[in-house]
Amino acid sequence: MTDAAVRPNKPATSKRTPAGGAPTAAHTAEEASEARIDVAAVTRALLGTWADTRLEAREMIKDPAFWRVDGMPMPEHRERVLTQLHLLVEAGGSRRSFPKEYGGLDNNGANLAGFQELVLADPSLQIKSGVQWGLFGSAIYQLGTKKHHDAWLPDVISLALPGAFAMTETGHGSDVAAIGTTATYDPETEEFVIHTPFRGAWKDYLGNAALHGKAATVFAQLITGGVNYGVHCFFVPLRDEEGAFLPGIGGEDDGVKGGLNGIDNGRLHFDHVRIPRENLLNRYGDVAADGTYSSEIASPGRRFFTMLGALVQGRVSLDGAATTGTALALYIAITYANQRRQFDSGAGTDEVVLLDYGKHQRRLLPRLAQDYAQFFAHDELLKKFDGVFSGTADTPAEREDLETLAAALKPLSTWNALDTIQEAREACGGSGFLAENRLVGLHQDLDVYVTFEGDNNVLLQLVGKRLLSDFARQFKGADAAALAKYAVGQTAGKLFHGAGLRQLGQTVTDFGSTARSVELGLRAEQQHELLSGRVQQMVADVAGALRPAARMSPAEAAAVFNENQTQLIEAARAHAELLQWEAFTDGINRLEDEDTAHVLTWLRDLFGLSLIEKHLAWYLINGRLSTQRAASVSRYIDRLCARLRPHAQDLVDAFGFAPEHVRAPIASGAERARQDEARAYFADLAASGELPTSEKALKKK
Amino acid sequence: MTDAAVRPNKPATSKRTPAGGAPTAAHTAEEASEARIDVAAVTRALLGTWADTRLEAREMIKDPAFWRVDGMPMPEHRERVLTQLHLLVEAGGSRRSFPKEYGGLDNNGANLAGFQELVLADPSLQIKSGVQWGLFGSAIYQLGTKKHHDAWLPDVISLALPGAFAMTETGHGSDVAAIGTTATYDPETEEFVIHTPFRGAWKDYLGNAALHGKAATVFAQLITGGVNYGVHCFFVPLRDEEGAFLPGIGGEDDGVKGGLNGIDNGRLHFDHVRIPRENLLNRYGDVAADGTYSSEIASPGRRFFTMLGALVQGRVSLDGAATTGTALALYIAITYANQRRQFDSGAGTDEVVLLDYGKHQRRLLPRLAQDYAQFFAHDELLKKFDGVFSGTADTPAEREDLETLAAALKPLSTWNALDTIQEAREACGGSGFLAENRLVGLHQDLDVYVTFEGDNNVLLQLVGKRLLSDFARQFKGADAAALAKYAVGQTAGKLFHGAGLRQLGQTVTDFGSTARSVELGLRAEQQHELLSGRVQQMVADVAGALRPAARMSPAEAAAVFNENQTQLIEAARAHAELLQWEAFTDGINRLEDEDTAHVLTWLRDLFGLSLIEKHLAWYLINGRLSTQRAASVSRYIDRLCARLRPHAQDLVDAFGFAPEHVRAPIASGAERARQDEARAYFADLAASGELPTSEKALKKK
């Protein structure tokens, strides 16, 4: 393993001498005079607002103690990751988000930025840290009050108190409001009785529950005085000093999983477990000694979503970690594709470098463009998260936007991670299937990102509903004339978009010089028009289809909604794609170097055009593209791929990974060494006159 | 593990009482009067021509000794699978394809049919068996002659001689012709000298190479008298009785892989290893004692492809195993989706069964339709394979068709396996990520199917080239009038198709009653016209784009080909999709039960329409569908999904899996038991008057 991380013998990175040696140099003589990117500047842009913390985390995880060891049996892997968490504490990595009075740094953005980088070391480390500090610790901090902070936060931060976050049940995942666990208040003893009434209400899939958790933040239906006040969170001790379950508590190990086997996921159940009244994490709802319930938030629904919203950081961090994990896969596959040769071209010359094949470019470069878009979009998300949680921009509207943004971006980036890692693995052939080359492990570990912290489809449906309510708001109090205007067509779209989630006109002020993004009427402006127009119309279409439901019985209305569920989810996806495109464009506009912006504009165009190609049928059916222009999209993408090909190594070098982050032998330069050796062998043989004649040549004589 | 295989308490399957209990019964009162499938008849149809052998294999693997144990460390897993191979020998499972004089059954079709079922027990078992008998044994049998058969086949069959198939090298996978290993004939000693000249020529990724292989069939460049006669296969002993490498042989363990860790893949290299002249497997080419080379096949190219073609069974069997593995994933996900409830619908009633959600139907049912198509297509492939290898239909044309058919179907079914297993895993949420529910293990093990035995993209490119040569053949000797006719438009398509790979008019004689496949001008005839028309035009388009290459320099011609590589691969995929659709349709036409054919025609329509939806932009751009009709495709698919929903359980029950094959707790009925328990709990609570009032209800008062 460690051998792979030895720094390959390559020249220092500079703007005109890209890292990685020969294959990353300009591809042809012509291209040598073309724009090249400033790799270091792009790295800074990709690392975003909290670049320093990211670099600090990357420096820390150069230590092999943090690395995933392939094939390590589950029990050892779990202990190894627990040890890594202690190392993280020693390095100060556990305290960034917590308040200064408990030794923290009160820096939410930096916390997530640093934490996400752990995915490069071992995703199990990233997620187990997330369980301890992002979920268990955050529940205490965000849902509890000072007495809870005083009692537990120092031990949470120091890992003296490892804990589980007991929300999900076997019977209920995404539908948290329907969980079965009860917390019934007993005024006689001033205790809550935590109880699991049936098997489906067992808490399940909880990290730290199988082995290491000493306590848990348990979500349960709060019942007092015969009334169910809905889901609240309680601090419940689980195990004694020897690690044995306390009375009334039981559980099971979830066993082997598809990945993340360094985490001890498990199940918990409670048989009338009594905890003090004070253990209710009471920031948003409290029960007095006599059993009286009180809350600042009158609406049960709003209270529930406020509590869940306080835990949004999980989704934010998965977006970032998925984006970084995807970048690693792309670095490995593109570096290999830039060195590996296979088949001669029929032109009688040398075997062809994989990345010179049209199909290979098509497989990898649009995914590279997508990941760039994600980096820029994630930084926007992280800034919004930091604004809300630092209090500098903490309004209900900002919170709602943050939650919607996280729910929009996390599904796309986590799905894209799986898609890209898989394509990268296939693009590396048999060597991609070896664990040492990282790709299969990344896929296995990141697999569950698409369904945890909110199932991706459920999250997109939430976004879709938000879009529908934004849409409806446009027409609230609108007079007949305004509605008629909408009915005519296009203006409604603009109206809607102006007040939509993204205040478009304010942020995307300049699409860059038209000379950059060029041809075919598919410049930045047209890309934006096509992408945003699609969101508008899809939302309007679904809204129109759902309108009759308002006059139907609940059962009929549910059926109509169900018929449009797929379309609503697609509209949400279109919205998220637009956000990514806009963030990418904004990011390019902030670049200072002209040549760098030039190349990145091609990459942004590749992203935009790939989205349009993906939805081409929609554009045609809805008359947004002529068949002629539609037919040109794919060819244009092919040309963009060819144009970006000489920059591919620069673009993945710009992710800024050190060999200790990559650790894949096939991306270490070993493949190039092998190719060079083989070519030298044949050249020497030919020079010495000892190369056997080919049978074909013999027959010609 | 074993618990999960306990047969759930469900009523016996009968036509009108589908298995699985309540949720699989007719979904509404109306549907109760609709057609239901004859589950047993469909099982027979899916099992195909060698149903008995398949059932025999399924019976054998009910023994837990054959099952994959999740989380088992690699060394133990390797030994376990080796033991399983011995069990397989005892059960007579290793001899079916070999000649009777060596104790075999001379039954090639049955051999693959039975062998493929092993994927249900442990894909490592399937693939390690494939290495031993399908590759190592087949090479000796197919490429060797009687002296080789006499010497080694009995020990190969009995596993007294475990072996590796040493074709792939670190530096060359799909491009076998370019491997670096040499076998140089030394007339002095009448020996071949097997040698690895550089690191890239190490044999790599070979099953049985790391530990268990006592010998290998080694592919190397045959050099005699200073002439290279191209790649031939040699029998090379590897290890002594104690398992130590023989002199001159070295190797490495490939270590942990993304899956299939029950197989000891490894690397081999040879330092001037001498083997007797007789060890050349000399069916297609021989070297006399004096070094003179001779072959029945004069053309070096044709000789090479004949040798490779003799080993086509690997691809055939992967198509079948992938199809069966996909069926298992669908069985698990659909059974679970039919029992699991989540979220109430807003209609104020019970929580909704997952499979009642429009989106959930969309995720799983088109993939079910795809897998049905694969079962029928695979049986066609298996019959063709058996015809060629039994000698009943062994002509050069049949061989070429077989190879093209295998190269067309294997990519689609193996990619679809990964796609479907992943969707199934996501559709099962967190429980889908647990190893005990099988889906993650299936994905990990089947991952490499898409790149081994021929990388999928490389295989499709081969198919594309065959389509191009078929196309060109249409115009060979055609006069100006014929060419002009082609230029005008549509007739060429028919011409081409008539002589294409599939003799369409002969096999698809009846599309079934029009009443069955219904509406919107998208009946069977139109589906077929759209799918076949697409193949024709795509091939013609690529041929047109490549035509100028004939007058270009090799380098320019290579560049033109490269520009069209993606399109050529897409044309091959379209061709394979058409073959699957036709096989599905043929299969329905063979069904006797009217109602069964009725439901399966909906499923076939879902398959056809899903293909058309996937390529909708192409149909629009090429004027094959009006925007209006195109817009109706997606809605039609939604309706087909809703119509098939009540049949979903029947359709997966028809795969015929026993609990010992499924072994996934979530598909065992445990989920339904949990749901029933939870609902009973709330019903009892409500009946007893002890259900807490909801806060919302309280506020209304």
Q: In A, which residues are within 8 Å of B198 by CB distance?
A: 674, 677-678, 681
- List C-alpha distances in Å: B289 to A559, B131, B286: 81, 32, 10
User: pTM for the whole thing?
Assistant: 0.93
Examine the pLDDT at B171 and tell me if it is beyond 60. yes
Examine the pLDDT at A401 and tell me if it is beyond 90. yes
Shortest alpha-carbon distance between residue A90 and chain B (Å): 31
CB atoms A620 and B631 under 8 Å: no
**Residue finishing a domain among B249, B277, B301:** B301
CA torsion B176-B178-B179-B184 (nearest 10°) is 120
Q: Please, what is the end-to-end C-alpha distance for chain B in angstroms? A: 52
pLDDT band at B503; cut points 50, 70, 90: very low
Query: Residue written as tokens 């820096």?
Result: A107
* C-alpha–C-alpha distance, residues A148 and A133, integer Å: 15
Nearest CB to A698 within list B197, B227, B434: B227
Q: Are A124 and A261 in contact (CB under 8 A)?
A: yes
- Percent of chain A clearing pLDDT 70 (strictly above): 88
Examine the pLDDT at B488 and tell me if it is beyond 60. no
Residue A362: predicted pLDDT: 96
Is A363 contained in some domain?
no
Q: How many CB atoms lie within 10 A of CB A688?
A: 8
Is A112 contained in some domain?
no
Q: In B, which residues are within 8 Å of A630 by CB distance?
A: 617, 620-621
Structural domains of chain A, count: 2
Examine the pLDDT at A571 and tell me if it is beyond 80. yes
* C-alpha–C-alpha distance, residues A516 and A595, integer Å: 10
* C-alpha–C-alpha distance, residues A274 and A37, integer Å: 63
Average pLDDT over residues A11-32: 41
Instruction: Name the residue among A616, A603, A582, A392 with its Cα closest to residue A502.
Output: A582
Examine the pLDDT at A347 and tell me if it is beyond 90. no
The domain that holds A237 is classified in CATH as 2.40.110.10
pLDDT in tens, A165-202: 999 999 998 899 999 999 999 999 999 999 999 999 99
* C-alpha–C-alpha distance, residues A439 and A418, integer Å: 10
**Residue finishing a domain among B278, B301, B324:** B301
Residue A18 or residue A325, greater confidence: A325
Q: For residue A5, give both structure tokens.
A: 């991380």
Q: In A, which residues are within 8 Å of B344 by CB distance?
A: 178
Shortest alpha-carbon distance between residue B420 and chain A (Å): 13
Nearest CB to B630 within list A434, A621, A630: A621
Residue A10: predicted pLDDT: 39
Q: In the 8-state DSSP scheme, what is residue B257?
A: B
Shortest alpha-carbon distance between residue A471 and chain B (Å): 21
Residue B367: predicted pLDDT: 98
Residue A612: predicted pLDDT: 97
Residue A285 structural domain: 164-301
Shortest alpha-carbon distance between residue A586 and chain B (Å): 30
- Contacts of residue B396, Cβ cutoff 8 Å, sequence gap at least 6: none
Q: In A, which residues are within 8 Å of B699 by CB distance?
A: 300
Handedness of CA A387, A389, A394, A398 (dihedral sign): positive
CB atoms A172 and B569 under 8 Å: no
Cα A537 to its chain centre, rounded Å, is: 27
Q: Where are the alpha helices (DSSP H) in B15-158?
A: 29-32, 39-47, 51-60, 74-90, 108-116, 123-129, 137-138, 146-158
CB atoms B677 and A226 under 8 Å: no
Residue B516: predicted pLDDT: 38
- The least confident of A243-252, A482-491, B477-486 is A482-491
pLDDT in tens, A217-257: 999 999 999 999 999 999 999 999 999 999 999 999 999 99
Instruction: Name the residue among A176, A260, A171 with its Cα closest to residue A218.
Output: A176
Residue A275: predicted pLDDT: 98
A-chain residue closest to B70, CA distance: A256
Residue B626 or residue B484, greater confidence: B626
pLDDT band at B17; cut points 50, 70, 90: very low
Examine the pLDDT at A22 and tell me if it is beyond 70. no
B-chain residue closest to A694, CA distance: B228
Q: Are A558 and B347 in contact (CB under 8 A)?
A: yes
Instruction: Name the residue among B112, B4, B40 with its Cα closest to residue B655.
Output: B40
Nearest CB to B558 within list A180, A345, A448: A345
- The least confident of A511-515, B407-411, B580-584 is A511-515
Residue A513: predicted pLDDT: 39
Single-letter residue type at B572? A
Residue A348: predicted pLDDT: 59
Q: In B, which residues are within 8 Å of A689 by CB distance?
A: none
Examine the pLDDT at B536 and tell me if it is beyond 60. yes
Q: In the 8-state DSSP scheme, what is residue B140?
A: I
Q: In B, which residues are within 8 Å of A675 by CB distance?
A: 171, 200
Average pLDDT over residues B672-701: 91
Average pLDDT over residues A277-298: 98
Is B157 contained in some domain?
no
Q: In B, which residues are within 8 Å of A561 by CB distance?
A: 346
Residue A20: predicted pLDDT: 32
Q: In A, which residues are within 8 Å of B436 by CB distance?
A: 255-256
Cβ-Cβ pairs closer than 8 A, A with B, add up to: 302
* C-alpha–C-alpha distance, residues A266 and A244, integer Å: 14
Query: Residue written as tokens 């304010």?
Result: A506
* C-alpha–C-alpha distance, residues B443 and A450, integer Å: 16
Residue B696: predicted pLDDT: 87
Nearest CB to B674 within list A171, A178, A616: A171
Residue A346: predicted pLDDT: 67
Is A23 contained in some domain?
no
CB atoms A555 and B347 under 8 Å: yes
Residue B351: predicted pLDDT: 87
Q: For residue A620, give both structure tokens.
A: 């045609």
Is A687 contained in some domain?
no
Shortest alpha-carbon distance between residue B293 and chain A (Å): 10
Q: Mean pLDDT in chain B?
A: 89
* C-alpha–C-alpha distance, residues A467 and A463, integer Å: 6
Average pLDDT over residues B373-377: 98
**Residue finishing a domain among A301, A330, A362:** A301
Residue B1: predicted pLDDT: 35
Q: Which letter, b or e, does each residue of A497-530 get, where b requires 16 or more Cβ atoms within 10 Å of its Cβ?
A: beebbbebeeebeebbeeebbbeeebbbebbbeb
Examine the pLDDT at A9 and tell me if it is beyond 80. no
Single-letter residue type at A639? R
Would residue A208 be called left, alpha or beta, if left means φ above 0 and alpha means ψ between -120 and 50 degrees?
A: left
Is A197 contained in some domain?
yes
pLDDT in tens, B310-325: 889 999 999 999 999 9
A-chain residue closest to B363, CA distance: A566
User: Which ipTM value was assigned to this complex?
Assistant: 0.92
Examine the pLDDT at A489 and tell me if it is beyond 90. no
CB atoms A554 and B456 under 8 Å: no
Q: In B, which residues are within 8 Å of A553 by CB distance?
A: 347
Q: For residue A459, give both structure tokens.
A: 């999250």
Q: Are A694 and B178 in contact (CB under 8 A)?
A: no
Residue A151: predicted pLDDT: 98
Residue A34 or residue B170, greater confidence: B170
Q: Mean pLDDT in chain A?
A: 89
Mutate: best of A302, A449, A451, partner B, most B CBs <10 A: A451
Question: At how many degrees (to 10) do helices A594-614 and A565-589 cross?
Answer: 170
Cα B74 to its chain centre, rounded Å, is: 25
CB atoms A448 and B430 under 8 Å: yes
Q: In the 8-state DSSP scheme, what is residue A516?
A: H
Q: In A, which residues are within 8 Å of B357 by CB distance?
A: 562, 565
The domain that holds A613 is classified in CATH as 1.20.140.10
Shortest alpha-carbon distance between residue B343 and chain A (Å): 6
- The least confident of A354-363, B20-29, B430-439 is B20-29
User: What H or E segment, with its residue span, contains residue A191?
Assistant: strand A191-195
